Amino acid sequence: MVKKTMVGPLLAAVGLVVLMGVGGCAKQKSYGAVEFTTVPTGAEVVNLRDDATLGTAPLVVTWEAEEGKPEYVTVQMRKSGFREEITSFWVNTRHSSREEAQAQAQQITVEMMPRKRQ
């Protein structure tokens, strides 16, 4: 049997253990960024995973992950008068902030080939 004088400290100790356990389960977010450049500039960059348009090159895109896990990305570059280009790469999400990731963005440069005229 627990004495009444022990209940308060016992509950406090149990609460501390629960809080420590919850805090230990939180996953740390990490970031990676890619700077897309196309030659010529102005190509639309599309993420083929979900067909989302990321923007127009030149462009910096930031990815968010948990605990620095890299992400495999496939994108398509589109520009009128040029052949579509597809490229795949790993995004290294090793930075602790978006700003740090953008300052050290991975470089992806794609040279667009003109369409042949018929």
- List of E strands, the chain: 29-39, 44-47, 52-56, 59-66, 71-78, 85-91, 106-111
- The CA distance from 22 to 15, in Å, is 11
Determine contact, residues 106/73, Cβ cutoff 8 Å.
no
- For residue 20, the model assigns a pLDDT of 46
Closest CA to 77 of 55, 62, 61: 55
The residue extents of the domains of the chain are 29-111
Q: What would the pLDDT profile of 57-98 be if each residue is shown by its tens digit?
A: 999 999 999 888 899 999 999 999 999 999 999 999 999 999
Residues in the chain: 118
Task: Report the CATH fold assignment for 29-111.
Answer: Immunoglobulin-like (2.60.40)
- For residue 21, the model assigns a pLDDT of 47
pTM of the shown model: 0.73
pLDDT > 70 fraction of the chain, expressed in percent and rounded: 77
